[in-house]
Chain A
Amino acid sequence: MKPGEDLSPTSWVKKDQPTDVSTMAHYKDGGYEDVLEERRHTSDLKYAMKSRPDVPRYKYCKPRTPAEIKTQVLNSDRLRYTIEKISDATKTSKEEIMKEAGSILDDMAHNLTVGVVRSVAFFLIKVFKSIFSRIYVNKEGIQMLHRLLHEYPVLLMPTHRSYLDFLLVSYIFYEYDLPLPIIATAMDFQGMKFFSWVIRQVGGFYIRRAFGSDTLYWAIFTEYVQTHLRNGDAPIEFFVEGTRSRTAKSYQPKIGMLSASLESYFKAELPDVMVVPISISYDRILEETIYAYELLGIPKPKESTAGLLKARGVLSNDYGSVHFHIDNPISIRLFSSNKIDRVQHALEPRYINNLTAQEKDVMVHLARHIVRQQQGHMVISPWALMASVLMQSREGILLRQLIKEVEWLKRQTSNLGAYVNWPGNTSSESVVQHYLSLHMNVISISETGLIELKLVLPSHMKKPVADEVMLNAATNLILSSYRNQLLHVFVQVGMLSLVVNTSPQVTMTMEDLYQGYVFLETLLQKEFVFLQGETKKEFEWAVLTLNHSGALAIKDNHVLVKQSINKYTTFFSQMFEPFLLGYWVLCQYFLSLPGDIQGKPLPRKPKNFTKEAQKVALRLLQENVIRHYEILSLDLLGNGLLALVEMGCMYKDKRWVSHSVTCHTRSVTRHT
């Protein structure tokens, strides 16, 4: 050591201010590193022009241009077969159908171009630096991808909470010299000429949201996805939730895209396919306000270029940090082994679409599994904890109290195995204050230090919403979306707590407890993602967790109800109460429906059901019967409706028909 060097005990600390919130982001906890750190000190232009020499490529890949890909798709066996069939069935000439196919493909195809990618990188890095303080990436995941992309075709499946998701994926892949993914994008963007063009150039390809029976479209789409997978031109990215989750909870997964891709594996065109779930956690979601209004049924503004540019005002805000977690790959071979028999496809040409029932089943399983794996690696922001506490403090809460509650909740969250992004070197007070400052748009602090919700006026609404209830609801929904980020962690113990809390008995057998749990899981099946066939296991895990943390008193295989109603179970119950209230409102509304001559309610469309149920909810709120604004959420009401259909309380024919809901209403009521 040179003489004169600082010998203080903290000489290894670069900036010796343990309580400064801005330093807390320097840590590399859990193997995360901040991508923006280096970018803040180097030239963006140089960055955009950097050479990418070691980009891994699938070992069997034969390089081709986007134009060659198109030609190969149009000349594929699958397409020729489909065109032949359509031509025979409709008596249209093959040339005509081919022409149509060509234009469908033109609408669909990406045009990944390095030049544009570089310009976009240049632009994106500027935006990211201005709106985010940190973008954390798990380095291990990057290294894993470098190896994996060489060995197998890869499907990237990020969580979908924001438009920024796919930009972030591409940006990070650019940053770490990984091949840029091609991205399945919904048609929503096509209205915006310039952005639509840009997205194509950076690897986006467009698919219609619904094309159920259009065999030509399905064939082109399948072949287009599969040809990329087979040749491994690039990793393919799509969102298993289908669309951006407006509630920040995971949506029920869709399997369309998954089945189009995995058919290639089922038919042994590939040695394996690797699914890499990616969990992207935001401190603050860019579209939070828009989502809230959408959930209340105010139509979302069409994504026009002008609209996005106007959103630049939003871009000058601080959106905290992002955690980008690349998860361990799921090998489709291992996941599906013993569940399917690929031999079944040996007797037919492989371009004929015919997946077996087991294969479809495996994909439903897989889709749920992927969502659960995504959830497992979501990083819980302290703000999500704060939001959960604030949601349960309708009259406002003092900072001191808030800190205390949040610290308690943090412990519970960790005990359930979730990773909370809580800097260890900083006082809880500064952490809480930091996050309050990030979310001042929904929070106000009174002179007495009482922290409570604030009303918001969305910037893009010309006229303010007249009804005060709706306004409050919007703010509330924003806050609830952050609480929602915590719910997947607590859903099992939450359901258990609900059963205990609503029990009229003194003791409860484990069987009764389980039955109550099963009922709630069935009821909430559209709200949360449960794994098929794992109910018992998860129930047992929840019992064990609550029992060990002292929340659930069990003696001689019986739950002692009185001892089990405590802070834990009450808090956990209340987290889920709004959903049950919403469903209760839904049931009330169904029961109030006038019947026809035979006393049966008249059929209607589901959309109308939820709309009208929302009116009932609104009235209840106005009359102050219920104080949970979330019952106004169309998403919640819609999920409830779907669950009731699944449970057999409602059924659908060509239109939807409501049916008796009496018996279950009673049970729903019981739980609230």
Chain B
Amino acid sequence: MADANEPGPEGKRHLVSNNVSYPAIKSINLEECRAEKSYKLTVEQKPSSIPKRRQELLKWNGWGYRDSKFVVNKNGHVEFTGERYRLSNTVMPALRDWMINTVGISLEHQQPAQPELTAADIVAPIVNEGFLEDMQRTGISFTDDPQDRLFRAHGHTLHEVFILREGKFKRIPDLVLWPVSHKQVQTVVELCSKHNVVIIPFGGGTSVSGALECPENEKRMIVSLDTSQMTKILWIDEKNLTACFECGIVGQDLERRLAEKGYCTGHEPDSIEFSSVGGWVATRASGMKKNIYGNIEDLVVHVKVVTPRGVISRNCQVPRISAGPDIQQFILGSEGTLGVVTEVIMKIRPLPECQKYGSVVFPNFEKGVDCLREISRQRSAPASIRLMDNEQFQFGHALNPEVKSVLASFVEGFKKLYITRIKGFDLQNISVATLLFEGTKEEVANQEKRVYEIAAQFGGIPGGEENGLRGYMLTYVIAYIRDIGFDYYIVAESFETSVPWDRVLDLCRNVKDRLIRECKERGVQFPPYATCRVTQMYDAGACVYFYFGFNYRGVGNPVKLYEDIEMCAREEILANGGSISHHHGVGKVRKRWLGQTISEPGLGMLRAVKQYLDPKNIFGNNNLMIDSKL
């Protein structure tokens, strides 16, 4: 996303760039505040970057914007279309060969997706007449348009996207609702409870846990409660450095509009372009820069939730409280099973003066992990640090654009020579860490010095700003690559976990080994691609992210095959002391491990809360602890 030109209604701006310059509007705003005898800034309301009819801007059967995708151009090279990203409109000459050599694709063998589904292909809705009559009286916007309903029937797991490309959902929402305020949400929940209609809250639709899928055997009417029209920043409190957001505002809008006032939340999940505040809370999201700003649970000061039992709220917005077990923690990660998050008060920070990328090249992944462990021990982590294994480094390399100038090519060659010849690194083993520093100029300088010093102890050498920037940019682009893979018989997915430091290396190695072995044993004809990176670090451990894909040409039922293999990988993760999930959540796809993760009494606790708040299972998306009996 780095340097991505995000089209807001007001035009484009750089979300992140090396030297952030911010409008000097802070003082003016303060003047205004004083005039109002309040320290709370009111913010001009603007519509969301994502339209109500999402499919007009976003792909209906893949990731991200319609205009941005990898295609094989007429010269047989891979190209990334559009103008949004740094990589947009560039040709990547090495990528085709990488795809052919690493995952065994063949340009002759394609598996195109089905054409856009029309009303005739989409199942008819189940209608609860009484509910619909009451609904019409409320004046809340809603639709039963088939394509709108289809768009809200899924997230982005392999299974869901594959259905969009090649099949049909058996069950999709019967109605889409767009409330615009907390009050309207209350009305919706009350009506649904009254008429026994199921609500599935929908935020940005970026779920990768199957959380948005409708339970196939749900006979009641299902409404998709789309929060995308609740995008207001209700206030900004400069005294306390907090801001109150409506749940539907998406990350890019939130940061853009806070930046106009000189602030940020610093919460940057990889899905920041599309995911919403309410979704972050409901899934316990994690942001790339959590080392400075914290994860969502650290950022949230207060949450307001509408449940069938009523509104859950605290009577104060305080930094910490001892009032029994934290009820907000029940909401964080509740995945839409208990109610709808409507308003969230989050911490904000003044925009950093300076932002700088960096990278370190290590002779191998092991050294890299040792270095990260040491940085964590010394608590000197920059805003973000991510360590890619060799396979991922190779992939990043394959995404290099055409070298346009002789000088650039010369510099590249020189760098390679330096690393391999002078430092004696083996390109088949090296591992690269990308870094992002934030703070004042001096802070950044100090952080840089410290990190590079520690890296040097582990044989790491600085790899330049450009490589760091590219690394972060790839994060956003990599989500798009799966769609071109589908066209060539590749199924791929990412999954993540958190793990104590002493088990990081064993886990990475064992899980990759398991993935490759399971592919072999299940008759996959081509070598699979299994790679990982360490994306977050904590005092007691780290978050590890895996990418895994394979060419399924010659074997049947790729989705089932993929899911079976990912299941084995998750079992391996758990056996290696890893968690069920670090930030993707449980949803439906990881439900089977929830019991053993939190113990049966723990599961019972969740069920008891569910039973009290939602005895009729109005929030019946079937995620987490909800079993079919409930």
Contact = CB atoms under 8 A, between A and B. Distances in A.
A269 B506 CA distance: 6
A268 B576 contact: yes
Contact of A60 (B507, B509, B572, B576): B509
Contacts of A346: 574, 577
Contacts of B575: 268, 341-343
B568 to A, nearest CB: 10
Contacts of A271: 509-510, 513-514, 517
Contacts of B574: 342-343, 346
A349 B502 contact: yes
A270 interface: yes
B110 interface: no
B449 interface: no
A269 B572 CA distance: 11
B596 interface: yes
Contacts of A270: 506, 510
B391 to A, nearest CB: 14
A228 interface: no
Interface size class of A (residues with CB under 8 A): 10 to 19
B112 to A, nearest CB: 37
B503 interface: yes
A12 B513 CA distance: 49
Contacts of B507: 268
Say whether chain B's binding surface is mostly helix, strand, loop, or mixed: helix
Contacts of A341: 575
Contacts of B514: 271
Interface in A325-348: 341-343, 345-346
B509 A343 contact: no
A341 B507 CA distance: 16
Interface residues of B, number: 15
Interface in B265-281: none
Interface in B570-629: 572, 574-577, 596
B577 A345 contact: yes
Given A343-B575, A343-B596, A346-B574, A268 B509 contact: no
Contact of B502 (A60, A272, A342, A350): A350
Interface string B43-73: 0000000000000000000000000000000
A60 B508 CA distance: 13
A350 B501 CA distance: 12
A349 B540 CA distance: 13
Nearest to A331: B517
Nearest to A350: B502
A271 B576 CA distance: 10
Contacts of A350: 502-503
A268 B577 CA distance: 8
Interface in B504-547: 506-507, 509-510, 513-514, 517
Nearest to B577: A346
A268 B502 contact: no
B499 to A, nearest CB: 9
A269 B507 CA distance: 8
Contacts of A349: 502
A60 B514 CA distance: 15
Contacts of A343: 574-575, 577, 596
Contacts of B517: 271-272
Nearest to A271: B513
A150 to B, nearest CB: 12
Contacts of B503: 268, 350
Nearest to B576: A268
Contacts of B577: 268, 343, 345-346
List 5 tightest A-B contacts by C-beta distance, closest first.
A342-B575, A271-B513, A346-B577, A268-B576, A271-B510
Given A271-B510, A341-B575, A349-B502, 8 more contacts: A270-B510, A271-B513, A271-B514, A272-B517, A342-B576, A343-B575, A346-B577, A350-B503
16 contacts: A268-B503, A268-B507, A268-B577, A269-B506, A271-B509, A271-B514, A272-B517, A342-B575, A342-B576, A343-B574, A343-B575, A345-B577, A346-B574, A346-B577, A349-B502, A350-B502
